[in-house]
């Protein structure tokens, strides 16, 4: 079973979703939760069976799909994707468990299960086309979730989300086809397998174009400035569960893809575009943080804060060294947990008041102390408090990028200031002061169902903040091999210089260990 | 010894978590007591460690576990108890034990009693991490941790808008500085390959000066924020919105001295870059004077003390910047004692006066609050540096150091500031405890604080009086790592003249303050000529710096944010929608082509064919006359 | 005196005629049955048609076997040309027809299916198309084309309501003009080369090095115009939306597939040798055709209010997309054309069938046309299965993986990439995004809006009112083909590529 | 003056253009069908001429089939017109605009 | 010389006739002109030695097609003046002129390629009709048969469309109405 665990992880939820049509409406929630738990348990088992010391792909599966065109069903996980897969199943489980009563709950849960299939698929696919299949397919359930259960502008938001990401990924698709064509030219056989592509060394000019093509797809997904405007709408209109999964998992697809595709395939182009991308990342960080500050709707604050944090992830990715990339991968998980939790928290108050405007609240800490506490913890995690999950990633990302540029890191570091500003102010507006609105005076505190979803996230937030090693170590090993690959493939002097040679470093690391 | 290290470190954490369990419940007296006991345990452990170090024992260095390890970077949770950290540990645990006990009384009637202890103990824990960590990352954990707890404690009374505002201000201002700190840490890492003190510091010797300068400056920026140095000082005065024990512990004794601690900890770095040191010293001296001047006229008891703290921090930085690290550390310690005492005393007064803070509305309180009066007077004397109280020894050494290093301007500023310090301290004492009982106008019935609170304060009182005697053993202890710099001014006469001169100057300032304020009878209403003078207004409005921040930083930030949101909607997003709309509108506009009339359709077909034909003719001609066309084009220079 | 003509029967290769003659025989049989006994139920004719089409399919398999064994087969004085393209196109034509014919078995009764002539004409039409693709003689192509077209006009008109007559007349008139263009174009090429056989034309033109390029271009202009009409290339497309709207949904779906693949095959035969000879003009014109047709049709589809009309524009856009294959002209591109069209036929026929089973006779007030978007509001709540099926067809048309059309799309774009048409590849890709909007629009209506009250009352009966087991089976085939296309793509691709490659394209 | 192939081709072209005018101009469908006949006849002249000048019979064959096609188109076209006329009493194509956009 | 005179004469006549056909407002004139034009075209065929084609032209067009058109005209009642709304004549004329001018411009050039070989040469001394017959029934046998099918299709189509079968539209009738009619039919039959 372990040989096919990834396929099981992908298709079990889909199968369960299809079966779900047969389930009675009343029992649907229980069904969804149990499927979620099974899936999560399977993903934990995956972690358990995962060998942290191996830097390459594990649990590989290989099945010919369209061999004459080089498309094969290849799956595998390494340290980079493993935890995002686990996070995807965690959030689906928690999401279903904390689902409030909405209309058509059955459809919602089935859709979520399909969404889970696509999410796991994206992060485990090792074939360009299979990756693309899941990448695109993930839009559909999300489209439905936003469009059917969202706010007043839900249709605009969902269609915008769909078309924008769709358009971007089509450009990426052209890039992939080019990549396969180059592989065909070099070897005489078609292949979309990423691991095959890794072996291909392209001249720099090709790399630049292909990087740009992939970039469009990924940047819209991340979303990077100036392609980010679909996100506030999507988040603003989506139901809680939609926002949670969108922020926690779907956005990670873009950043993950950067690490899986752009960096190892185009090391020279990555170096070439490092500064422009970093500048975009910095704009994302500062600009969106300021926009977040100007928001009146607390969900929009969290939404824009997502963009801002994604900027840090991008920056870490383009540090092009082990520290930065490990940091960015870790921050993906961190941001997933934290922003997911924040959206859940916003959902809690939305369920009670059916508004997300901060001006409607104030003094909630008096009436909902537990809620305020959890929100406070998550806010501080989001702000990047040490010993919380986000800090590790942010610290490493910035640290990593510092080796590339002093000034840009300084600018990017403004994240910790502006991030604190909008978050604290929003928190103050919602929770501090006197209770001004009569409706707020008797709000019930978080209930058991909501706690089921929130408490694990709080625990993870602190656990991984204090002891990130179990996650960071596998990530590190895989990232090291990626960086080494990039170093070996780099053709230009500049790239060779900027991408460190890890194998040389390994010795000094062990010596550093011995020193302790 | 490791056992004691862990106890000292984790007892506050246990305390905090224990108290946190009851956060949402009603007030529980035992929470405060248990928390105090746990902190006391930490104090005892620290004392044991101190005796161990004093006894010449080895530095205790443990590595608890890995924190981050990726690529080249290896950061453990490592803790070190050496001469510096043990001093800090003593200061932190002692003052916090006292503050904990004191708070049991002070927060007696507060419904956030349990929560208060959770935060307070959490603060102690963070502070312990800060001072005990053996690497910069650990230091940063504590650094941010105390910032967080400071935020929670300043905004403790979160129903007060101004309190939460001040909390946010403090947090954000600190964040600005933290960025500098972070950059400093990055610099250390990329230049030395490690963040461990014991690897990084020796490696500094091999780096070029410009890098070191950068490191020094960025780390110091971090210190500036935490220690509220100009221009990041405004948060400290505003932080006085928090409960007074918090002010005593965090904003006087411990957290704000973290910056000083950082500079002292990095003494190996700063001794390599004396020019940065000089800058630090100059800034310290400036802040000392600057803050003292604001304290002169302020009408808020706690703010006056806060400015005094600021001023004293300036002294510390002056000392540290001049290389007199042990002096700075010693002043840090002494200051912690008498300033905490002063704050706690102020807390008593506040309690008695029902949170009234304007000393002009008090007066004559010595009759009802004898204990407090004595304590505050002695604390003020210590602050002013009157022999034989603690301040005399520490402050005087700073002055000597400045003199001995031949930085006469700094010396002069510091001496002058000493006079100002004495003046405003006793202005406060005189206004509060002497003169007419102006509070009666406001119908307040003051009462003395609980006995046990006064008893709790008494160790501080004693230390404020006698801390000077520790100077010699302290010096012996820390000289090993902070350098054996004894400041000997060659001529004994000079020394004596300086000593006596300073004492006389300070004494005169005290007398002047008493004379001016001990018989004050009215509450100023802003009509007196002095109050309308430019200098008074300037000082009273804190040099208009908060106003400037509000006007030129906060407001523009708000406006730019709002503008950017507009940009986001109306430019970035609109252009995306615009592109989509182009297609839609083009479709809408050109759909009339499909008029549904067969004749039009046929015409389109013929038109299409004719179009193709014309293209064909063009191409045919071009192909036929390609030579001529090329000739013409080349003639045109294309 | 003429010498007596001696021709051996073997040399005629009469077997090449078998696939085309079978539907003719079937048609005649239907006419004869009707003559002998009228008023027989339509199901009889449906089954007879299917039987003959299956026979036809079998004959095609036979031809395919012969082709794989011996390569290109010429027959009957070299008029018949059975190469890979002909076989592939006929496979598509016949298979789609087999899938189409059961759509006649509707729950409600419609005019055309009540008359046996419909089935006879239908089979004649198929035979016509088969002749059209299985020849490189311009005369036979013309005759086959006209046979099929005339039958098709009648089939459209037989739906028997005003719109269908209007559609038929429009189609007919424009078809007559296109026939004029075709004959004029043929005349010019004949004037140049003295031949009406495409391979001879190509050889002669190549031999004299395109000396009379002006004449060639005039000829090509008119031929191109006539095929642009058939392939509904902008601006020759104007008939398409009206004809689709006027005919029954099933017929519209059929028309979006079969006539076009026939026209594509002839266009490939006619134009690719010119592309390979680097006639720049043709490259430019085709490039422009592809881009304009895709983009403009997409933009018009955006603004439609009727699903069928939207699908009409969408099929114009798809045709434009596929026409890129002729421009690119590589084996991969030509294979992609067939692959795409096979996958497209499944999806599009399915989509139109979904419209067909929801066809009403009386339109309620909120509905201006047969299949206005409002009709599908909130379909997920009243008949979820149908909504999901429809949504999958839409997603497939939009090119969302892993549904059928996606595979055709990537193979086609890959062909563009391989052929060096990078910008074209990008335009093709981005057009999918524009197209995404209107496909999503239907999904938005179905899944995100609330149903109209009357549809709630009859619990979505509206959407399947016209359905019978036969129709459902066809839709089942289509949906299975659409979803599990990825399993079939590899064998299809190998098959198609071999056939195309062995035909020299 | 020798009459060559080009003369016939030009004549054919001119007649074809006249046919196009008719196609575009006529609103009465019956008269419009006349124009389509002109188109085909114009082409036939060309075919016959080429056939003659090249001494090749293919052109005549093509013309022969064109005539056949013209005849059958006429049958279907008239059929359609009759149906339409029965319903609407007119064969003006301006009345056929129920579908547009 | 005779050839040239005949060519120009008939060219003028056909152009004039067809011009009248497309421009006249009198439907009858148009029909007559069309018929005349077609006969003149057959003259070209005779000049060009395509006797059989000429004969077919006259028989089919003037005999069959024109008769049908005449029938159609009577049926549609278009014998009177035809009122046509004519929009922008400029477009019509300019498009046609443009097409004609461009094609003519190209056709003015002689065909350069000279290596023309006749694939199906007309043999001296054998009548045109005979030749046509041979080619038609060998090479073009299949198109010929398909053309026969096409004519059959046209016939069936014509019958279906113009006959009574289209009078009642089942498409527009509800199920109940259809049943009613069928019952009536049965009664009539029985």
Least confident of A34-38, A114-118, B594-598: B594-598
Residue B179's pLDDT band (boundaries 50, 70, 90)? very high
The mean of the pLDDT values for chain C is 90
CB atoms under 10 Å from CB of C169, counted, come to 25
Residue D27's closest chain B neighbor by CA?
B599
Find where tokens 């067909």 sit.
Answer: C356
Q: What tens digit of pLDDT does each residue of C350-404 get?
A: 999 999 998 888 888 888 888 899 889 888 888 888 999 999 999 999 999 889 9
- The predicted pLDDT at position A456 comes to 92
- The predicted pLDDT at position C355 comes to 92
Find where tokens 């569960």 sit.
Answer: A241
Instruction: Sort residue C161 into left (φ over 0), alpha (ψ -120 to 50) or beta.
Output: beta
Q: Which residues of C touch A181 (CB under 8 A)?
A: 414, 417-418
Q: Which residues of A touch B155 (CB under 8 A)?
A: 432
Write down which chains contact chain D via at least 3 CB pairs under 8 A.
B, C, E
Distance from CA of A172 to the nearest CA of C (A): 9
Distance from CA of A180 to the nearest CA of B (A): 31
Q: Is the CB of E157 less than 8 angstroms away from the CB of C194?
A: no
The C-alpha atoms of residue C149 and residue C143 are separated, in whole angstroms, by 10
Three-class DSSP category at B196: strand
Find where tokens 């000066």 sit.
Answer: B209
The C-alpha atoms of residue C184 and residue C194 are separated, in whole angstroms, by 14
The phi and psi torsions of C137 (rounded to 5 degrees) equal -95, 125
Q: Is the CB of E132 less than 8 angstroms away from the CB of D60?
A: yes
CB of C434 within 8 Å of a chain B CB? The answer is yes
Residues 6+ apart with CB under 8 A from B404: B487, B488, B489
Closest CA to C129 of C4, C20, C238: C20
Least confident of A413-422, B324-333, B356-365, B598-607: B356-365
Q: Is the CB of D60 less than 8 angstroms away from the CB of E52?
A: yes
B542 and B294 in contact (C-beta within 8 Å)? yes
C24 and C124 in contact (C-beta within 8 Å)? yes
Rg over CA atoms, chain D: 17
The closest CB to that of B607, out of C169, C178, C235, belongs to C235
CB of D93 within 8 Å of a chain E CB? The answer is no
Tokens of A80: 């980079």
Write down which chains contact chain E via at least 3 CB pairs under 8 A.
B, C, D
The closest CB to that of C401, out of A137, A144, A167, belongs to A137
- The predicted pLDDT at position E75 comes to 85
Q: Is the CB of D97 less than 8 angstroms away from the CB of B597?
A: yes
- Angstrom CA distances, A260 to A87, A329, D43, stand at 18, 11, 63
Closest CA to C113 of C42, C65, C64, C172: C42
Domains and CATH numbers, chain D: 7-89 (1.10.287.3510)
The C-alpha atoms of residue C119 and residue C41 are separated, in whole angstroms, by 12
Q: Is the CB of B597 less than 8 angstroms away from the CB of D96?
A: yes
The average pLDDT across C237-266 equals: 93
Residue C312's closest chain D neighbor by CA?
D101
- The predicted pLDDT at position C12 comes to 80
The C-alpha atoms of residue B305 and residue B292 are separated, in whole angstroms, by 10
Q: Is the CB of D1 less than 8 angstroms away from the CB of E4?
A: yes
Tokens of B476: 């012996």
The average pLDDT across B595-608 equals: 90
As beta bridge partners, residue B384 has: none
As a residue count, chain E comes to 190
Residues 6+ apart with CB under 8 A from C272: C326, C329, C334, C505
Helices vs strands, H then E, count in chain E = 8, 0
Q: Which residues of A touch B194 (CB under 8 A)?
A: 512
Q: Which residues of A touch B173 (CB under 8 A)?
A: none
Q: Is the CB of C80 less than 8 angstroms away from the CB of E160?
A: no
Domain residue spans in chain E?
1-84, 140-190
Q: Which residues of E touch B606 (CB under 8 A)?
A: 95-96, 99
Q: Is the CB of D72 less than 8 angstroms away from the CB of C246?
A: no
**DSSP at A203:** -
| Calculated CA dihedral for residues B393, B394, B397, B401, nearest 10 degrees | 180
Rg over CA atoms, chain A: 22
Closest CA to A120 of A83, A146, A164: A83
Residue C176's closest chain D neighbor by CA?
D36
The closest CB to that of E106, out of B603, B610, B620, belongs to B620
Query: Would the pLDDT of A507 be above 50?
Result: no
A182 and A151 in contact (C-beta within 8 Å)? no
Residues 6+ apart with CB under 8 A from C258: C92, C93, C96, C97, C126, C129
Distance from CA of B465 to the nearest CA of A (A): 39
The phi and psi torsions of B356 (rounded to 5 degrees) equal -80, 135
- Classify domain E1-84 by CATH number: 1.20.120.1200
Distance from CA of C106 to the nearest CA of B (A): 30
Find where tokens 């009112």 sit.
Answer: C465
Query: Would the pLDDT of A511 be above 50?
Result: no
A and B touch per CB criterion (3+ pairs under 8 A): yes
The closest CB to that of E102, out of B603, B607, B614, belongs to B614
Tokens of C22: 């079978």
Q: Which residues of D touch B598 (CB under 8 A)?
A: 93, 96
C139 and E140 in contact (C-beta within 8 Å)? yes
Cis peptide before A226 (omega within 30 of 0): yes
Q: Is the CB of B591 less than 8 angstroms away from the CB of C303?
A: yes
Q: What tens digit of pLDDT does each residue of B221-247 get?
A: 999 988 888 888 888 888 888 888 888
- The predicted pLDDT at position C74 comes to 87
The phi and psi torsions of B184 (rounded to 5 degrees) equal -60, -45
Closest CA to B231 of B553, B537, B560: B553
Crossing angle of helices E2-23 and D5-25, rounded to 10° = 10
Q: What tens digit of pLDDT does each residue of C448-471 get?
A: 988 887 777 777 778 888 888 999
Q: Is the CB of C191 less than 8 angstroms away from the CB of D43?
A: no
**DSSP at B133:** B
Residues 6+ apart with CB under 8 A from C310: C301, C304, C438, C441, C442
Query: Would the pLDDT of D28 be above 60?
Result: yes
Distance from CA of D98 to the nearest CA of E (A): 17
Q: Is the CB of B603 less than 8 angstroms away from the CB of D97?
A: no
Closest CA to D62 of E110, E155, D54: D54
Checking ipTM against 0.95, whether it exceeds it is no
Q: Is the CB of B595 less than 8 angstroms away from the CB of D100?
A: yes
Tokens of B597: 């009339």
The average pLDDT across A283-312 equals: 92
Write down which chains contact chain B via at least 3 CB pairs under 8 A.
A, C, D, E
The average pLDDT across C152-162 equals: 91
Percent share of chain A, pLDDT over 70: 97
Least confident of A243-257, B75-89, B361-375, E149-163: B361-375
Q: Is the CB of A178 less than 8 angstroms away from the CB of C417?
A: yes
The average pLDDT across B325-346 equals: 89
Percent share of chain B, pLDDT over 70: 99
The average pLDDT across B161-171 equals: 91
The closest CB to that of D24, out of B592, B594, B603, belongs to B603
pTM score above 0.95: no
Query: Would the pLDDT of B524 be above 80?
Result: no
Distance from CA of A413 to the nearest CA of B (A): 6
Distance from CA of A119 to the nearest CA of B (A): 27
Pairing of strands B60-70, C73-75: unpaired
- Angstrom CA distances, E185 to C160, E169, E178, stand at 20, 15, 11
Residue A513's pLDDT band (boundaries 50, 70, 90)? very low
Distance from CA of E134 to the nearest CA of C (A): 9
Query: Would the pLDDT of B487 be above 80?
Result: no
The average pLDDT across C66-86 equals: 88
Tokens of B614: 């014309």
Tokens of E76: 């549609």
- What residues of C are in the D interface, CB distance below 8 Å? 138-139, 142-143, 146, 150, 153-154, 157, 162-163, 165-170, 172-173, 176-177, 179-180, 183-184, 186-188, 190-191, 194-196, 241-242, 245-246, 303-304, 309
* Chain D stretch 81-100, residues whose beta carbon is closer than 8 A to a beta carbon of chain B: 93-94, 96-100
Q: Is the CB of A177 less than 8 angstroms away from the CB of C402?
A: no
What is the maximum span of chain E, computed from C-alpha positions, in angstroms? 75
The C-alpha atoms of residue B65 and residue B86 are separated, in whole angstroms, by 21
Q: What tens digit of pLDDT does each residue of A344-369 get?
A: 999 999 988 888 888 888 888 888 88
Find where tokens 């990715």 sit.
Answer: A317
Q: What tens digit of pLDDT does each residue of A119-160 get?
A: 999 999 999 999 999 999 999 999 999 999 988 899 999 999
Query: Would the pLDDT of B168 be above 70?
Result: yes
Least confident of B118-122, C475-479, E59-63: E59-63
A and E touch per CB criterion (3+ pairs under 8 A): no
Cis peptide before B388 (omega within 30 of 0): yes
Q: Is the CB of E170 less than 8 angstroms away from the CB of C109?
A: yes
Query: Would the pLDDT of A512 be above 50?
Result: no
Tokens of A209: 């174009």
C and A touch per CB criterion (3+ pairs under 8 A): yes
Q: Is the CB of A395 less than 8 angstroms away from the CB of B68?
A: yes
Residues 6+ apart with CB under 8 A from C425: A174, A177, C413, C416, C417
């Amino acid at each position: 079973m372990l040989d096919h665990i990834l396929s099981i992880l992908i298709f079990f939820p889909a199968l369960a979703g299809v079966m779900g049509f047969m389930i009675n409406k009343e029992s649907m929630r229980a069904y969804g939760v149990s499927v979620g738990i099974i899936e999560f348990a399977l993903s934990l088992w995956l972690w358990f069976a995962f060998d942290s010391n191996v830097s390459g792909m594990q649990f590989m599966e290989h099945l010919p799909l369209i061999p004459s065109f080089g498309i094969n069903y290849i799956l595998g996980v390494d340290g980079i994707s493993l935890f995002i897969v686990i996070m995807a199943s965690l959030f689906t489980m928690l999401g279903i468990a904390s689902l409030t009563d909405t209309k058509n709950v059955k459809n919602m849960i089935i859709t979520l299960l399909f969404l889970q299939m696509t999410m796991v698929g994206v992060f485990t696919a090792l074939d360009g086309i299979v990756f693309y299949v899941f990448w695109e397919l993930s839009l559909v359930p999300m489209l439905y979730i936003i469009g059917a259960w969202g706010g007043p502008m839900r249709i605009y938001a969902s269609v915008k989300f769909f078309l924008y990401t769709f358009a971007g990924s089509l450009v990426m698709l052209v890039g992939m086809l080019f990549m396969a064509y180059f592989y065909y030219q070099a070897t005489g056989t078609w292949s979309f397998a990423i691991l095959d592509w890794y072996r291909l060394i392209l001249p720099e000019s090709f790399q630049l174009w292909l990087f740009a093509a992939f970039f469009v797809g990924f940047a819209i997904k991340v979303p990077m400035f100036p392609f980010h405007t679909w996100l506030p709408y999507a988040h603003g209109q989506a139901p809680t569960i939609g926002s949670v999964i969108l922020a926690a998992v779907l956005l990670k697809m873009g950043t993950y893809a950067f690490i899986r595709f752009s960096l190892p395939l185009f090391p020279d182009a990555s170096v070439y575009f490092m500064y422009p991308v970093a500048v975009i990342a910095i704009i994302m960080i500062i600009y969106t943080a300021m926009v977040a500050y100007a928001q009146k709707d607390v969900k929009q604050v969290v939404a824009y804060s997502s963009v801002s944090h994604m900027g840090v992830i991008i920056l870490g990715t383009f540090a092009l060294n082990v520290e930065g990339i490990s940091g960015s991968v870790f921050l993906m998980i961190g941001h997933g947990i934290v922003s997911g939790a924040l959206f859940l928290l916003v959902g809690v108050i939305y369920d009670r008041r059916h508004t997300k405007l901060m001006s409607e609240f104030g003094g909630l800490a008096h009436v909902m102390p537990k809620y305020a506490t959890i929100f406070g913890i998550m806010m501080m995690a989001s702000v990047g408090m040490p010993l919380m999950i986000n800090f590790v990633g942010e610290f490493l990302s910035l640290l990593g990028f510092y080796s590339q540029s002093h000034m840009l890191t300084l600018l990017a570091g403004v994240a910790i200031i502006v991030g604190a500003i909008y978050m604290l102010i929003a928190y103050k507006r919602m929770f501090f002061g006197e209770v001004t609105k009569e409706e707020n005076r008797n709000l019930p505190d978080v209930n058991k169902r909501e706690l089921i979803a929130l408490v694990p996230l709080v625990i993870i937030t602190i656990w991984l903040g204090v002891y990130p090693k179990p996650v960071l170590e596998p990530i590190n090993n895989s990232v090291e091999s990626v960086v080494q690959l990039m170093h070996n493939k780099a053709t230009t002097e500049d790239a060779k210089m900027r991408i460190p040679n890890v194998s040389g470093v390994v010795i000094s690391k062990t010596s550093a260990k011995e020193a302790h | 010894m490791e056992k004691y290290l862990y106890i000292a470190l984790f007892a506050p954490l246990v305390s905090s978590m224990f108290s946190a369990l009851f956060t949402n419940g009603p007030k529980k007296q035992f929470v405060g007591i248990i928390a105090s006991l746990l902190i006391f345990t930490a104090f005892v452990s620290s004392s044991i460690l101190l005796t161990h170090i004093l006894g010449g024992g080895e530095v205790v260095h443990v590595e608890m576990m890995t924190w981050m390890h990726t690529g080249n970077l290896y950061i453990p949770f490592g803790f070190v108890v050496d001469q510096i950290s043990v001093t800090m540990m003593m200061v932190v645990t002692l003052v916090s034990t006292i503050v904990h006990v004191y708070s049991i009384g002070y927060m007696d009637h507060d419904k956030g009693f349990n929560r208060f202890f959770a935060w307070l103990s959490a603060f102690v824990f963070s502070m312990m991490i800060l001072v005990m960590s053996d690497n910069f990352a650990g230091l940063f954990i504590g650094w941010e941790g105390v910032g967080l707890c400071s935020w929670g404690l300043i905004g403790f009374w979160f129903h007060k808008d101004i309190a939460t505002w001040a909390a946010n201000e403090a947090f954000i201002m600190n964040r600005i500085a933290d960025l500098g700190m972070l950059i400093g840490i990055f610099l250390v890492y990329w230049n030395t390959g490690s963040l461990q003190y014991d690897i990084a510091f020796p490696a500094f010797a091999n780096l070029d000066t410009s890098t070191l300068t950068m490191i020094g400056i960025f780390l110091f920026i971090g210190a500036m924020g935490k220690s509220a140095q100009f221009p990041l000082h405004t948060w400290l005065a505003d932080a006085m919105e928090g409960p007074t024990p918090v002010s005593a512990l965090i904003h006087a004794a411990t957290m704000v001295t973290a910056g000083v601690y950082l500079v002292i900890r990095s003494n190996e770095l700063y001794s390599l870059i004396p020019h940065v040191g000089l800058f630090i010293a100059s800034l310290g001296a400036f802040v000392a004077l600057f803050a003292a001047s604001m304290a002169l006229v302020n009408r808020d008891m706690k703010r006056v003390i806060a400015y005094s703290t600021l001023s004293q921090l300036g002294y510390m930085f002056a000392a540290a910047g001049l290389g007199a690290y042990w002096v700075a550390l010693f002043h840090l310690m002494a200051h912690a004692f008498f300033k905490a005492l002063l704050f706690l005393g102020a807390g008593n007064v506040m309690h008695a006066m029902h949170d009234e803070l304007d000393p002009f509305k008090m007066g004559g309180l010595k009759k009802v609050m004898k204990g407090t009066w004595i304590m505050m007077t002695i604390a003020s004397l210590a602050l002013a540096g009157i022999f034989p109280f603690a301040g005399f020894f520490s402050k005087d050494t700073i002055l000597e150091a400045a003199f001995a290093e031949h930085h006469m301007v700094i010396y002069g500023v510091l001496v002058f500031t000493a006079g100002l310090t004495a003046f405003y301290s006793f202005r406060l004492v005189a206004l509060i405890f002497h003169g007419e009982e102006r509070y009666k106008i406001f119908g307040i019935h003051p009462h003395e604080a609980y006995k046990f609170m006064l008893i709790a304060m008494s160790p501080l009182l004693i230390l404020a009086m006698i801390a000077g005697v520790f100077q010699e053993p302290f010096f012996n202890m820390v000289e090993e790592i902070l350098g054996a710099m004894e400041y000997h001014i060659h001529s004994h006469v000079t020394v004596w003249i300086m000593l006596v001169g300073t004492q006389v100057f300070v004494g005169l300032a005290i007398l002047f303050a008493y004379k001016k304020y001990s018989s004050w009878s009215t509450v100023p209403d802003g009509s007196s000529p002095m109050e309308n003078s430019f200098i008074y207004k300037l000082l009273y409005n804190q040099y208009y710096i908060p106003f400037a921040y509000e006007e030129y930083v906060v407001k523009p930030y708000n406006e730019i944010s709002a503008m950017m949101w507009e940009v986001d909607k109306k430019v970035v997003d609109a252009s995306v929608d615009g592109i989509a709309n182009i297609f839609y509108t083009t479709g809408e506009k050109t759909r009339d082509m499909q008029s549904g009339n067969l004749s039009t359709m046929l015409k389109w077909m013929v038109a299409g064919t004719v179009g193709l034909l014309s293209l064909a003719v063009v191409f045919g001609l071009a192909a036929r006359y390609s030579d001529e066309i090329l000739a013409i084009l080349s003639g045109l220079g294309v | 005196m003429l010498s007596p003509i001696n021709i051996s029967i073997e040399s005629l290769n009469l077997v090449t005629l078998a696939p085309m003659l079978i539907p003719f025989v079937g048609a005649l049989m239907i006419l004869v049955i009707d003559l002998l006994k009228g008023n027989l139920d339509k199901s009889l004719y449906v089954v007879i048609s299917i039987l003959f089409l299956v026979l036809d399919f079998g004959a095609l398999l036979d031809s395919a076997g012969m082709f794989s064994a011996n390569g290109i087969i010429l027959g009957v004085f070299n008029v018949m040309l059975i190469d890979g393209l002909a076989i592939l196109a006929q496979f598509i034509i016949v298979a789609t027809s087999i899938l189409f014919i059961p759509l006649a078995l509707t729950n409600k009764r419609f005019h055309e299916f009540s008359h046996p002539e419909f089935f006879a004409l239908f089979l004649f039409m198929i035979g016509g198309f088969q002749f059209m693709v299985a020849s490189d003689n311009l005369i036979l192509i013309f005759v086959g084309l006209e046979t099929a077209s005339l039958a098709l006009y009648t089939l459209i008109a037989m739906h028997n309501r005003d719109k269908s007559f209007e559609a038929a007349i429009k189609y007919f008139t424009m078809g007559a003009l296109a026939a004029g263009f075709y004959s004029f174009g043929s005349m010019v090429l004949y004037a140049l080369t003295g031949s009406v056989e495409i391979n001879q034309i190509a050889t002669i033109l190549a031999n004299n090095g395109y000396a009379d390029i002006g004449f060639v271009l005039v000829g090509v202009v008119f031929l191109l115009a006539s095929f642009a009409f058939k392939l509904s290339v902008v601006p020759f497309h104007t008939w398409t939306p009206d004809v689709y709207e006027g005919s029954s949904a099933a017929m519209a779906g059929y028309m979006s597939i079969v006539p076009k693949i026939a026209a594509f095959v002839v266009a490939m035969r006619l134009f690719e040798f010119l592309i390979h000879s680097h006639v720049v003009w043709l490259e430019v014109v085709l490039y422009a055709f592809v881009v304009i047709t895709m983009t403009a049709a997409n933009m018009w589809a955006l603004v439609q209010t009727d699903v069928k009309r939207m699908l009409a524009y969408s099929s114009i856009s798809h045709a434009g997309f596929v026409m890129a294959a002729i421009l690119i002209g590589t084996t991969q591109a030509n294979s992609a054309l067939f692959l795409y069209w096979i996958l497209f036929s499944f999806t599009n026929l399915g989509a139109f069938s979904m419209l067909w089973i929801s066809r009403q006779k009386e339109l309620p007030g909120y509905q201006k046309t047969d299949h206005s978007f409002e009709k599908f509001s909130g379909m997920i709540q009243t008949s979820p299965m149908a909504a999901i099926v429809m949504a999958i067809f839409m997603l497939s048309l939009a090119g969302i993986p892993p549904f059928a059309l996606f595979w055709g799309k990537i193979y086609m774009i890959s062909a563009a990439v391989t052929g060096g048409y990078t910008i074209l590849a990008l335009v093709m890709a981005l057009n999918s995004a524009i197209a995404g909007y209107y496909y999503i629009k239907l999904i938005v209506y179905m899944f995100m809006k609330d149903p109209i009250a009357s549809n709630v009352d009859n619990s979505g009966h509206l959407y399947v009112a016209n359905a019978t087991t036969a129709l459902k089976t066809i839709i089942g085939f289509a949906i299975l083909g659409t979803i599990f296309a990825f399993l079939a793509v590899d064998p299809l691709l190998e098959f198609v590529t071999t056939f195309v490659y062995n035909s020299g394209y | 003056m020798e009459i060559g192939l080009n003369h016939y081709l030009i004549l054919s072209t001119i007649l074809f253009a006249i046919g196009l005018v008719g196609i575009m101009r006529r609103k009465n469908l019956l008269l419009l069908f006349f124009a389509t006949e002109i188109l085909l006849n114009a082409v036939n002249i060309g075919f016959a001429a080429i056939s003659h000048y090249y001494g090749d019979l293919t052109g005549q064959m093509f013309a022969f089939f064109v005539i056949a096609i013209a005849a059958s188109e006429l049958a279907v076209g008239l059929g359609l017109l009759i149906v339409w006329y029965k319903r609407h009493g007119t064969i003006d194509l301006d009345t056929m605009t129920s579908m547009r956009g | 010389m005779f050839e040239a005179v005949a060519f120009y004469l008939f060219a003028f006549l056909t152009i004039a006739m067809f011009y009248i056909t497309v421009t006249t407002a009198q439907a009858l004139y148009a029909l007559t002109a069309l018929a005349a034009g077609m006969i003149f075209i057959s003259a070209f065929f005779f000049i060009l030695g395509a006797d059989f084609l000429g004969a077919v032209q006259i028989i089919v067009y003037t005999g069959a097609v024109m008769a049908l058109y005449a029938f159609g005209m009577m049926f549609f009642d278009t014998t009177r003046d035809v009122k046509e709304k004519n929009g922008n004549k400029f477009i019509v004329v300019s498009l046609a002129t443009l097409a004609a001018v461009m094609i003519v411009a190209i056709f003015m050039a002689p065909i350069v390629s000279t290596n023309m070989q006749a694939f199906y040469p007309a043999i001296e001394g054998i009548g045109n009709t005979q030749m046509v017959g041979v080619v038609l029934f060998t090479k073009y046998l299949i198109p010929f048969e398909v053309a026969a099918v096409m004519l059959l299709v046209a016939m069936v189509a014509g019958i279906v469309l113009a006959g009574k079968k289209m009078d009642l539209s089942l498409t527009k009738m509800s199920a109940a109405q259809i049943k009613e009619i069928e019952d009536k039919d049965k009664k009539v039959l029985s």
